Structure formats: structure tokens, C-alpha cells
Amino acid sequence: MTIPDAAPNPFRQFNPAQAPAPGEPPVFTFLLVKLASRCNINCTYCYWFRDAEVYKKPAVLTFDAEKAFCEKLEEHIKEFGLDYFMIVFHGGEPLLFPKRRFAELQERLIEIEERTGCMIERGVCTNGILIDEEWTALFIKYEISVSVSIDGPADINDQYRVDFKGRGTHADVLLGIEKLRAAGLEPGIISVCNPATDPARILAYIVDELGVTRFDILPPDATHEDNPPPIADYFIRLFDAWYDTYAARGVRISTLDAMIQGLMGDAAFSDTIGLGPVETVTLMSDGTLEPLDVLRIVGDASTKTDVSVMNDGLQGVQKDFRWRAAYEASLNLCQTCRDCEYMDACGGGQLAQRWSAERKFDNPSVYCDSWKRILGHIWARISPTLVVEYGGNSPAPAPQG
């Protein structure tokens, strides 16, 4: 079995070639920018609003925070001699941000590129509902990649992705996707799995009906306090359906890519699974800098810091104990994980899913048993197909002894 390059993942968090020396903090080359702290829909599984601290933040990125962010970004690029930086615009719902201000922000970023010689790659993650011709024109003009969240056909998507009146959002999301495609833009697709549903239906819908071949399907965000249902059966069926039918058609699912790469000894560029440090920094709408936004699922101001672009550089968040705790927890797995045969492939699972009130991050994933079953199943299926190739023209060395 040959594994081609992984599908692009805007939340990739670990590049071994850029790994810091032991004890040395990383130089940030990625930032999650919260253009809006509010949302226009009310997904019942959303991690973002599990922490009431969100409601204390400005509804959209303030002018002062935007100005300070651009200044500190340019200083950061110059100080560390960066030739690449990535920004993902996020929310809430980022398209609640005014279009005029969005365009002005892109112009400022382009000016930073011109002054520093650093390429600033940009993407936006949206629920798709507010996409119109003006937004698509902005995405095209400023070369911004777009990812849209949709969980499958209407009967599945609309169980959880609803508006504030409890109505399903599926039809409105499809209209947004159609507007992107009418302008020549092909969005990425991100789905959250419902373990009670049939993953073969999701695959058929995304690939055969929507015509998308590169996407991701994620487990629901949960901590040990939530007691979520197992995901093993779902992802095993998902892998089998993909492996038996869709892989040969060029279909790629980022989470499956990451698991396969991890099992084969490669670094897995995924925010869902795989061994590596969590280095994400989140810019909030008031200019504060926080750890990975999904950690907000813990609640109780779990990601709140006193570090802000108003007073600190981007690297300044490293001095905050909450960011430090997340970063160090991602590198220091619990004993259960260190003893596990799947440690490299799993890496303890997604950091937020390791949380418990009693032991903080010192736990395996809440989906630990499921990940073991899933990884074991995948390895059993792919290992008979693997072929070891040796470099050069020399034959493989004969076994000794």
C-alpha cells in the first residue's frame, strides 16, 4: 500500500523539521484569529460556548486589537526571520465580521508580506450560511482558502447543526457551497461524526452528491466529564468503506490519513490524533492571546490569559501558565499512553479530550479504548499490503543469525 501526501490540514500543529530543541519554546508560525466571538447558529455540540467567558469578549475583533495584531505580527516575522506564516480566520462565525473591515485587514497583511518577504497563507472556517457573492469575491481577490462545516445529508446534519429557533441549517449551507462553486472556489469540508449514524452514508453524500474528494470527519469534542459514546464502530466502518471503495478513487480523509501515517512511523499532521506538541495560539476579539481554542470545552475561563497584543508580542503567550500547561501536557503523556503500543500513532489523542477535573490533562483520551480498536483494525488491514523498499541499487541485506 502506498500512502500519498496527506490532505491539507489548516490546523496542522507539528513539523518535525521545525521542532524546537528540548526545553526551547517554539517560534509560532500559525495563528487562529477569532474575527467573531458570536455565531449565527446554535450547534448543540459546540465547544466554544461551553465557557461563558466567551460572552465577555467583543462580538467582533476590535479596531485596536486588529491594529496591534498587525504590528505585532510584523515584528514577530522580522524578529525570527520567518518566510512563512499561516492564519486561519475563525469564530464563532467569522463571516459576522464586516466585509469592508475584512478587506482592509487583508490589505494590511499583504503590506506586511511586501515589507518582510514572508508569505502569509490565509484560510477561513465557516458554517457557510452567510456566504454570498461579495464574500466569494473577497476570497478570490485575496486568495483565501475556505472550509465549510456540514455533517452530512439533512436528516443527519440537522440533528445538531440548528439555528436559534431549532431549525436545521443544511439547506442554507448548501446554498453557500453553491455560491462558492459558482465563483470557481472549491471549499474544504469538515464534518463531526454522529456515532449512531452510518459512515457509509456520509461518504456517499460528501463524495457522490457533493463531489468532494478531500475532507475530514472528526470525533465529537468531549472531556472525561462528558462520558461520550464510543466512536470505535463508527471509525472502523468509516475506514472499511473508504479503504474498500473510495481510496482507489482518490478520496482522502485527513483523520484516516493521520492514523495510517502514525502507524507507519511518520509524523501525523492532525489536530485530532498523533504524537506532537500543541503549539496553537488563538487571538481573541479583544486582542488577548490564548491556547488552542478547543480547550475552552473545559469551561470556567479555562483558556483565559492576561497576555494581549496590546502589550505583548506573539511569543509572549508562552509566559502564561495556561498556554504552558497545554503545551507541556501535549508533550508529557500519562503513563497509560507511554506504555501503549499505539503511542506514536495516537499521541494521547486530542488534548482537550484528555481532560478530567481530577487529573487535568494527565489522562489518556476519553476515546482511548476506541482509538486502540480503530488503530488495531487499520493495522490489521494495511499491514499485509506493505512492502519495504531499500534505497539505492543494492539488494536488501540478508537477515543475520
Cα(331)–Cα(315) distance, integer angstroms: 19
Confidence at residue 207, expressed as pLDDT on a 0 to 100 scale: 98
Instruction: Give the model confidence (pLDDT) of 89-100 as tens digits.
Output: 999 999 999 999
Name which residue leads in pLDDT, 11 or 321: 321
Q: What is the pLDDT of residues 344-384, one digit of tens each?
A: 999 999 999 999 999 999 999 999 999 999 999 999 999 99
pLDDT at 395 over 80: no
DSSP state of 20: P
User: Which DSSP helix (H) or strand (E) runs through 237?
Assistant: helix 232-241
DSSP reduced 3-state for 359: coil
* Residue whose grid cell is 472499511: 240
CB hemisphere CA count around 222 (13 angstroms): 20
The pairing of strands 282-283 and 30-34 is: parallel
Query: Within its chain, how far is the Cα of 319 from the centroid?
Result: 24
Q: What is the mean pLDDT of the chain?
A: 90
Which residues pair with residue 124 across a beta bridge?
89, 146
> What is the number of residues in the chain?
401
pLDDT in the model for residue 389: 67
What is the mean pLDDT of the segment spanning 173-185? 97
Of 183, 196, 191, residue with least CA distance to 139: 183
CB-count exposure of residue 184 (10 Å: 0-12, 13-18, 19+): exposed
Instruction: Give, for 113, the enclosing helix (H) or strand (E).
Output: helix 99-116
Does residue 196 come out as left (phi exceeding 0), alpha (psi in the -120 to 50 range) or beta?
A: alpha
CB–CB of 10/145 below 8 Å?
Answer: yes
Pairing outcome for strands 145-149 and 119-126: parallel
Cell numbers linked to 51: 465557557
Q: Mean pLDDT, to the nearest integer, of 99-116?
A: 98
**Both ends of the chain: CA-CA distance in Å?**
29
Judged by average pLDDT, the poorest of 94-103, 261-270, 277-286 is 261-270
Distances (CA, A) of 84 to 117, 280, 372, 378: 9, 16, 36, 35
Q: Dig out the grid coordinates for 272 from the structure.
A: 485530532
Sequential DSSP letters for 304-320: --S-BTTTS-GGGGGGS
Give me the domains of the chain, ranges plus CATH numbers: 25-385 (3.20.20.70)
